[in-house]
Amino acid sequence: MLETQVADSSSAVAESKPLVDIRNLKMYFPLTRGIVFQRLVGYVRAVDGVSFTIQRGQTLGLVGESGSGKTTIGRTIIRLYRPTDGHVYFENYDLARLPREQLRQVRNRIQMIFQDPFASLNPRYTIGSLIAEPMHIYNVASKKEIRDRTIELLRVVGLRPEYIDRYPHEFSGGQRQRIAVARALSINPDFVIADEPVSALDVSIRAQVLNLLQRLQQQFHLTYLFVSHDLSVVRHVADRIAVMYLGKIVELADRDELYNAPKHPYTKALLSAVPIPDPKIEKRRKRIILSGDLPSPIRIPSGCRFHTRCPMAQSICREIEPAFARKEGHDHYAACHFSDKVTPVV
């Protein structure tokens, strides 16, 4: 009886423990001057102290303007970039500090879908070779089993098996993205980073790929980090949403709570740009136009880094950086001195 209780409690702890745990992640790129004798003149602080968790089977949407650091986070998690500081826990492994050999053993459980499928697919390889390549690298099956698995994956993503000997240039953008999805699934990963997977696609194809990703998540019990600049797309796929601005997360909440009751003026401005199909609501809604451009990540503004464009900014915003603190609601966090004064978009 006691052994059963201990087993039940340990399984409950395992289920509650996040699959991915990012703690104070930083990614700085050195800025040098000179051709022969280079000297360091500063850093581009692309990611500047980011923390979040992703539970197994969930989708975290990461949104923000171009240049906010979304893609850099995805590439740093998978160790395409070696982080400057912080921790990237995947189960019990800290990917930020794993030696190369140990990292290779874990990396097959983490895959990435890139924004441009044509750039990420080698044009000299057939799609059969592209999908099978990860299986050959990790030696997961025999040649016949790998070919059978490749044909099965083509069917899973909605492509015909006879396409296996064709080349990437023979396919449309939506089909190439399906090929990229099939390659990411070829070695049965647990965690998939989707970096703007539908931004380069037509609207009609976009919906098909989003529905495909959701269906595959249920079928293979996948966990997603979904990177996008489009809040309407993220609402369709995400369970929780993190909003980034200039290298930091400024708001993090459950999907519906963030859309219905934003606590940061930047989130509210992004939501005001999302079109609503109801013309009566759309007519009543006020569009928030932010003044100026995103500041340079080389020279971060003092205090709240959004104060240079914020319509609610006051003197305290220019002097003191707001804490990323819990607000009213279930696991709703925001970094704003006046979050209680942020009203819904409509």
Contact, 133 vs 183, CB < 8 A? yes
Q: The pTM is what?
A: 0.88
pLDDT in tens, 68-99: 999 999 999 999 999 999 999 998 899 999 99
Residue that has been written with the tokens 């603190």 in this structure: 325
Q: How many CA atoms lie within 13 A of 224 on its CB side?
A: 30
Q: Which alpha helices (DSSP H) does the chain contain, by range?
A: 2-16, 70-77, 100-107, 117-120, 127-138, 143-156, 173-185, 203-220, 231-237, 255-260, 265-272, 279-284, 315-319
Q: Which domains does the chain have, with CATH numbers?
A: 17-109+189-341 (3.40.50.300)
Helix (H) or strand (E) holding 24: strand 20-33
- Taking only the tens of pLDDT, the chain with its 346 residues reads 334 333 443 444 445 789 999 999 999 999 988 777 788 888 999 999 999 999 999 999 999 988 899 999 999 999 999 999 999 999 889 999 999 888 988 988 999 998 888 888 999 999 999 999 999 988 888 888 999 999 999 998 889 999 999 999 999 888 998 999 999 989 989 999 999 988 877 777 888 888 889 999 999 999 999 999 888 889 889 999 999 999 999 999 999 999 988 999 999 999 888 877 777 776 777 778 788 788 888 999 999 999 999 988 899 999 999 999 998 767 899 999 998 887 776 5
